[in-house]
Amino acid sequence: MKSLLKFITCGSVDDGKSTLIGHMLYEAKLLFADQERALELDSRLGSRGGKIDYSLLLDGLLAEREQGITIDVAYRYFTTDHRSFIVADTPGHEEYTRNMAVGASFADLAVILVDATKGIITQTKRHTRICALMGIKHLVLAVNKMDLVDFDTDKFDAIKEEFSRITTEFQFESIQVIPVSATEGDNITTKSPNTPWYQGLALLPYLESVEVHASDDAKPFMMPIQRVCRPDHTFRGFQGQIEAGSIAVGDELITLPSHEKAKVKRILVTDQDRNSAHAGQPVTIQLDREVDVSRGCVFTKDNQLQEADSFSSTILWMDDSVLTPGKDVLVKVGTKVLPGTVTAIKHKIDINTGNTVTADQLVKNELAVCEISLSDGIVFDSFEKNKSIGGFILIDRVTNMTSACGVIDEALQSSDNSGRMDTEITRDVRAQQKGQQPLTIWLSGSVADNTAIAKAVERRLVARGYHTMLIDNSAGESVRQLAAYAALLNDAGLLALVPAGSANESDLAIAKEMIGQAFLPIEAAINSNLIEEAAKDIVKRVVKALIQDSYTI
Amino acid sequence: MEKLTLDSIDATTHLDQLEAEAIYIIREVAAECENPVMLYSIGKDSSVMLHLALKAFYPEKPPFPFLHIDTTWKFKEMIEFRDRKAKEFGIKMLVHSNQEGIEQGINPFDHGSAYTDIMKTQALKQGLDKYGFTAAFGGGRRDEEKSRAKERIFSFRNKNHAWDPKNQRPEMWKLFNTRINKGESIRVFPISNWTEKDIWQYIRRENIDIVPLYFAKERPVVNRDGQMIMVDDERMKLQPGEKIETAKMRFRTLGCYPLTGGAPSEADTLDAIIEETLGAVSSERTTRVIDQEEAGSMERRKREGYF
């Protein structure tokens, strides 16, 4: 069966971009007869005096026809004997950068046009940068209007060399440079006799054969949850598209951010039962046990993903309004939407040159490194590894406009170390000074019981010479909040006592994740007249835990 | 234990990619939009859309209703097919017609483009407003017409259901922004990236039932302005010189019978239809009378709220 190649064309009006695609469709006999008639009819009205203007095939909107430019993305579809294609024709002007980014975000490959008479120009560099930012891995540089430079191989080589210089800063997987003439048809569908010195394929045969789908199947399994499917009380399945790797019935997977483990009981690929499924397939997964998972959560097999509630990112601002730090937005990453704030603009990146420019605000079509903080943690991965949870959009909370798109560069401080400064005085130093190892005694049961028991436990621990702190949970703090407090106390070298109240497995998993090795969960729901007995028992367990880990007392 | 079928080691084909993209979009809307509906026009694209909706949520039924805008001039076989499918799949099928238009006797013979506006565009707006739908799935494809080629998958409409082609929201990767303000709504086109050929190949692969009018058969027709118009009922008004003939013919698109031209054809199986489509010399919408009026007519119509 044929595969599908999604590509874009970029270049300016004068580079003959629409003409190139139009000509390719025409030459490859991929036009329907009535479109061809309409084209000839339209051409008679236009400026080329009766000669076919191939660009009319693509410039669809009335405003564009009137202005003679491409202002939005137009999609065209064609199939050859070897492949199906979707081509997005994107505008070249700097003021339409965001429209180009829309086209680029959808494509696997970009055909960038340059005019052989002008060579590499500023916009060529800009287009290359946008393609790289949006995740395109494969480029074709079509050096157009070769007929106007008499198919001069030196001119071509110079352009090729310069292009290879400007692309070194990006991680493109393939780059093919092809000499063409869009109006005359050289190297469009067949090799041109005018360029005997060019060893590669003509444009269309190249597009038919280039390999762009680096196997997503080989990556670790990852699937963001789109929705929970519950037709009745007997069925609960998680629906989404597998974005990387594969999964089989019986495999164990990890749910994020709840960090639960469960085995796959059943896999439906659309409406068919399957033993396994792979990247790109829409599935419904049933697990062998109840898990705390809803839309926006992520399934993984070997958890190499990251979690954070603030990150540094490279964004393209696309809104007519001006971005200043402190802007409240909605952030969509994968299938998760949550409130956030653009906390800082670190610096702008000149979209043409890549140079760093200091800035305290951004206007439309500008690129910048920004810090964004979120109301809660998200699961993400680097954009290079997983486009689907490494890219994000920012939505204006008033106008609902998609104001920016961006890629996550790295997590900033994670949610479990808030309030702490990084200094050379480490947890170990502080603990040693107190002659003890830090521990979080996480009591579950009812908060009231827990608090009473915790008080008794603390009294006994202090009597034994331990440094402790009891957290007040009378207000019913969230698990994350409690765990963050406890971790902070542990960092101070203290034994933290947390009357956590009723805790389910996922809460415990979160606490364990945030507190780490120092985590000691104890079920402590008991009759109130036995508080001292329980406390005594708990102290024994605490001391045992400390000794087992060969802690010095 | 469930019965599991053997997995074929199939490479992902372009149809699989298109299907996955459409299902992803349909699920996103169901998960994020408050009150979605799927428009159902009974044609082959709608049959594919319905099929995709059934697959997207299986074993659950689609968590939204379907809406048919009935101009009252559809082919009889279409209405019969609609009711049969709704029953077969157990989905909620809403039907809306513009009652004022009916009372005023608006018809395709006497009222020309006003008919399309009143019985289709206005009726659609009424139907969406009546139920307060915030998102409506449509089966529009970008290969159908030039202005559609530029429309996003999520296309936003203001309170008057109008489209502003110059102010479309950027659509990045698969991160669809479904947020709207009160009174606004979204048209969502999950099969934007399908071509007519993809539709037919998918219908064959998935064994999707379509209205019999797509298959060649002897039918009573008149020749009008070079198009074959089928005489579906006694309301058909003949023009001077026209006479009803019987011809073996089929339809490439379906709509209101007086406005839908068919073509002579021997293609009475899916394979024959696909064969005919692949070798087609006319792109699909030539047989829809309104599109030929002038360059840009569809874009103008859409700005005014045509789907």
Contacts of A401 in chain B (CB under 8 A): 169
Taking CA–CA distances from B142, the nearest residue in chain A reads A75
In a 3-state reduction of DSSP, which class is residue B83?
helix
Least confident among A80-84, A244-248, B218-222, B244-248: A80-84
Residue A421 confidence class, pLDDT cut points 50, 70, 90? low
**Cα dihedral A522→A523→A525→A527 (10° resolution):** -70
Buried b or exposed e, range A434-446, using 16+ CB within 10 angstroms: eebbbbbbbbbbe
| A33 contacts on B by Cβ (under 8 Å) | 281-282
Residues 240-299 of B with CB under 8 A from A: 280-283, 286, 295-296, 299
Q: What is the pLDDT of residues A162-194, one digit of tens each?
A: 999 999 989 899 999 999 998 888 999 889 999
Which residues of A are less than 8 Å from B16 in CB distance?
280-281
Which residues of A participate in catalysis according to the annotation?
A: 502
Give the DSSP H or E segment for A312: strand A306-317
For B18, name the nearest residue in chain A, comparing CA atoms only. A4
Residues in B closer than 8 angstroms to A34, CB to CB, are 281-283, 286
Q: What is the pLDDT of residue B299?
A: 53
pLDDT score for A419: 53
Find the CB nearest B177 among A73, A388, A395.
A395
Residue A297 predicted with pLDDT over 60: yes
Helix (H) or strand (E) holding B18: helix B14-32
- Which chain B residue has the Cα nearest residue A84? B14
Residue A435 has pLDDT above 80, yes or no: yes
- Segment A329-354, tens digit of pLDDT: 999 999 999 999 999 999 999 988 88
What domains lie within chain A, and their CATH numbers?
Answer: 3-209 (3.40.50.300), 216-300 (2.40.30.10), 306-413 (2.40.30.10), 427-548 (3.40.50.300)
**pLDDT score, position A84:** 86
Calpha distance B292→A179 (Å, rounded): 39
Structure tokens at A173: 């997987």
What is the DSSP code (8-state) at residue B125? H
Is B303 a residue whose pLDDT tops 60?
no
The answer on pLDDT for B8 being more than 50 is no
Predicted local distance difference test score (pLDDT) of residue A354:
87
Helix A427-434 to helix A479-491 angle (10° resolution) is: 60
- Whether A403 has a pLDDT exceeding 50, the answer reads yes
Nearest to B20 among A235, A241, A333 (CB): A241
Chain A residues near residue B193 by CB distance under 8 angstroms: 75, 77, 86
* CB proximity list for B4: less than 8 A, separation 6 or greater: A249, A273, A274, A275
Best mutation target, B54, B64, B177, to test chain A (most A CBs within 10 A): B177
- pLDDT of A218 above 50: yes
Question: Which of B4, B31, B168 is facing A275, going by the closest CB pair?
Answer: B4
Does the pLDDT at position B218 exceed 80? yes
Greatest Cα pair distance, chain A, in angstroms, is 101
Q: How far is A323 from chain B (nearest CA, A)?
A: 17
Beta strands A367-380 and A391-396, pairing class: unpaired
What are the structure tokens assigned to B112, written together?
A: 């020309």
User: Counting beta carbons within 10 angstroms of the beta carbon of residue B56, is it exposed (0 to 12), middle (13 to 18) or buried (19 or more)?
Assistant: buried
Residues in chain A: 553
Other CB atoms within a 10 A radius of the CB of residue A271 amount to: 13
CA distance B164 to chain A (A): 12
**Measured on CA atoms in the order A519, A525, A531, A536, is the torsion positive or negative?**
negative
- Whether A62 sits inside 8 A of B172 (CB atoms) is no
| Better-scored residue on pLDDT, A35 or A441 | A441
Torsional sign, CA A315, A316, A319, A320: positive
> How is residue B80 written in tokens?
């019969």
Q: Above 70 in pLDDT, residue A420?
A: no
Contacts of A513 (CB under 8 A, 6+ apart): A259, A416
Residue B98 has pLDDT above 80, yes or no: yes
- On chain B, the residues whose CB falls within 8 A of the CB of A105 are 171-173
User: How far, rounded to the nearest angstrom, does the alpha carbon of residue A198 sit from its chain's CA centroid?
Assistant: 38
Q: How confident is the model at residue A61 (pLDDT cuts 50, 70, 90)?
A: very low
What's the confidence (pLDDT) of residue B181?
87
pLDDT at A206: 95
What six digits make up the tokens of B247?
A: 């011809």
How much is the pLDDT for A536? 85
The 3-class SS string of A374-403 reads EEEEEEECCCCCCHHHHEEEEEECCCCCEE
Q: Tens of pLDDT along A442-459? A: 988 877 778 888 888 898
Contact B170 A42 (CB under 8 A): no
Distance from chain centroid for Cα A419: 28
Q: What is the DSSP string of B150-172?
A: G--SEEEE-TT----GGGPPP-B
pLDDT digits (tens, 9 = 90+) for A109-123: 999 999 999 999 888
> Taking 50 as the threshold, does the pLDDT of residue A294 lie above it?
yes
Please state, in angstroms and rounded to a whole number, the distance separating the CA atoms of residues B140 and B117: 18
Task: Tell me what the pLDDT averaged over chain A comes to.
Answer: 84
Q: Out of A290-304, A533-547, B202-216, which region has the weakest mean confidence (pLDDT)?
A: A533-547
Question: DSSP characters for B212-256?
Answer: GGGS-EEEEEEEETTEEEE--STTPPPPTT---EEEEEE-SS-SB
Nearest-angstrom CA–CA distance, B43 and B85: 12
Contact A101 B170 (CB under 8 A): yes
For testing the chain B interface, which of A77, A85, A232 should be mutated: the one with the most B CBs within 10 Å?
A77
A298-333 residue pLDDT tens = 999 987 899 998 999 999 999 999 999 889 999 999
Question: Over pLDDT 90: what percentage of chain A?
Answer: 46
**pLDDT score, position B147:** 65
Higher pLDDT, B70 or A44: B70
Greater pLDDT, A73 or B91: B91
Which pLDDT value is given to residue B115? 87
- How far are the Cα atoms of A21, A114, A193, B134 from residue A146, in angstroms, in the given order? 16, 10, 12, 52
Q: Which amino acid is at A262?
A: A
Cβ contact A34–B299 (<8 Å): no
CB contact under 8 A, B28 and A249: no
Q: pLDDT grade, residue A63 (50/70/90)? A: very low
Would the pLDDT of A262 be above 70?
yes
Is A74 close to B150, i.e. CB distance below 8 A?
yes
Q: Measuring CA to CA, which residue among A240, A4, A276, A223 is closest to residue B12?
A: A4
Distance from CA of B1 to the nearest CA of A (A): 9
CA distances from A124 to A94, A348, A351 (A): 11, 19, 11
Amino acid type, A144? N
Q: What is the DSSP letter of A417?
A: G
Give this complex's ipTM.
0.85
B159 band by pLDDT with thresholds 50, 70 and 90: confident
Task: Tell me the two tokens of residue A376.
Answer: 């809660």
State the smallest CA–CA distance between residue B168 and chain A in angstroms: 9
Contacts of B24 in chain A (CB under 8 A): 226, 241, 282
Q: What is the mean pLDDT of residues A470-485?
A: 84
- Which of B58, B280, B296 lies nearest to residue A32, judging by beta carbons? B280
Give the minimum alpha-carbon distance from A130 to chain B in angstroms, rounded to a whole number: 13
Give the Cα separation of A490 and A496 in Å (integer). 7
Residue type at position B160: N
Q: Which residue of B has its CA nearest to A231?
A: B60
> Following DSSP, what letter does each residue of B200-215 receive, concatenated?
HHHHHHHT----GGGS
CA distance B200 to B44: 8
Q: Minimal Cα distance from A63: which residue of B?
A: B166
CB pair distance less than 8 Å for B299 and A62: yes
Buried b (16+ CB within 10 A) or exposed e, A497-536: bbbbbebeebbbbbbbebbeebbbbbebebeeeebeebbe
Would you state the pLDDT for residue B48? 97
pLDDT for residue B282 is more than 50: no
Mean pLDDT, range B70-81, rounded to an integer: 93
Q: Could you say which residues from 29 to 68 on chain B have a Cβ atom under 8 Å away from some Cβ of chain A?
A: 30-32, 54-61
Beta-carbon separation of B174 and A229 below 8 A: no
CA pair distance A222, A331, nearest whole angstrom: 20
d(CA A80, CA B145): 21
Decide which of A178 and B298 is more confident: A178
Query: Is pLDDT at A243 greater than 70 in this prediction?
Result: yes
Distance CA B165, CA B298 (A): 12
Which of A1, A270, A271 lies nearest to residue B13, judging by beta carbons?
Answer: A1
C-alpha B180/C-alpha B32 separation (Å) is: 11
Contact B170 A405 (CB under 8 A): yes
Contact residues on chain A for B27, CB-CB shorter than 8 A: 226-227, 239-240, 282
The CATH fold assigned to B14-199+297-303 is: Rossmann fold (3.40.50)
Over range B15-34, report the average pLDDT: 95
Which tens digits make up the pLDDT trace of A190-210?
899 999 999 999 999 999 999
- What pLDDT score was predicted for residue A36? 57
Write down the domain spans for chain B: 14-199+297-303, 212-289
Is the CA virtual torsion A153, A155, A158, A163 positive or negative? negative
Mean pLDDT of B184-209: 91
What pLDDT was estimated at residue A548? 62
Omega before A257 cis (within 30°)?
A: yes
pLDDT tens profile B105-144: 888 888 878 888 888 889 999 999 999 999 999 998 887 7
Cα distances (Å, whole numbers) of residue A290 to A249, A260, A263, A445, A509: 17, 10, 11, 21, 14
pLDDT at position B1 is 34
| Cβ atoms of A21 and A7 closer than 8 Å | no
- Asked if A486 contacts A515 with a C-beta cutoff of 8 angstroms, the reply is yes
CA B115 from chain centre, in angstroms, equals 18
Question: Which has more confidence, A215 or A176?
Answer: A176
What pLDDT shows up at residue A549? 55
The pLDDT value recorded for residue A281 is 94
**Out of B5, B170, B296, whose CB is closest to A402?**
B170
Question: Nearest to residue A181, comparing CAs of A223, A142, A144?
Answer: A144
pLDDT for position A28:
61
The reported pLDDT for the residue numbered B295 is: 42
> In whole angstroms, what is the distance from residue A347 CA to residue A342 CA?
13
Q: Residue A356's beta-bridge partner residues?
A: A349
The alpha carbon of residue B143 is apart from the nearest alpha carbon of chain A, in Å, by 7
pLDDT > 70: percent of chain A: 86
Structure tokens at A223: 């699937």
A-chain residue closest to B20, CA distance: A282
Q: pLDDT band for A404, please (50, 70, 90 cuts).
A: very high
Summarize the confidence of residues B222-250 as an average pLDDT. Answer: 88
pLDDT reported for residue B306: 53
